[in-house]
């Protein structure tokens, strides 16, 4: 299937057992990949759900520009950035940093972790069987 690795944070955020606020979880099923935006985070690029907070952020693509930004950053700036993540976690999906990947476009429901993992295994087994049928 070509993937060297997978990131499933968004999928597990949208699970019944996830401790994220229901408002955060409920962003995922109706969303499309286009509902996310790439912005500059504390350590580099991050993908956020498009909301008031993320649309106020920019994307720095140049290393020297990032270093200049970091040199101006105060401890208070860093704390405020961390608070944006906490705000989203607690349900403020308008002003908080709602971290979600483009995969949200493929997630249509909030399911149990057990069902998510069983589906992954079932789909993988199906792909393996289909692939083995192609080898003659």
Rounded mean pLDDT, 67-87: 90
Distance CA 24, CA 38 (A): 18
Does the global pTM surpass 0.85?
no
pLDDT digits (tens, 9 = 90+) for 37-63: 999 888 788 999 999 999 999 888 888
Q: Looking at residue 71, what is its pLDDT? A: 87
CB 113 within 8 A of CB 12: yes
Burial 21-59 (b: 16+ CB within 10 A, else e): beebbebbeebeeebbeebbbeeeebbbbebebbeebee
Task: Using the structure block, give the residue that is written with the tokens 């909301």.
Answer: 51
Rounded mean pLDDT, 10-32: 96
Determine what percent of the chain is predicted with pLDDT higher than 70. 96
């Amino acid at each position: 299937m070509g993937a060297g690795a997978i990131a499933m944070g968004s999928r597990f955020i949208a699970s019944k057992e996830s401790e994220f606020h229901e408002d955060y979880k409920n962003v995922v099923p109706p969303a499309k990949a286009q509902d996310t935006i790439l912005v500059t985070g504390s350590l580099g690029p991050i993908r956020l759900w498009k909301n008031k907070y993320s649309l106020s952020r920019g994307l720095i693509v140049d290393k020297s520009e990032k270093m200049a930004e970091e040199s101006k950053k105060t401890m208070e700036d860093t704390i405020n950035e961390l608070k944006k993540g906490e705000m989203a976690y607690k349900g403020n999906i308008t002003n908080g940093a709602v971290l979600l990947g483009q995969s949200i476009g493929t997630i249509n429901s909030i399911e149990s972790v057990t069902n998510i993992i069983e589906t992954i295994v079932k789909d993988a087994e199906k792909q393996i069987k289909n692939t083995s049928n192609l080898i003659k």
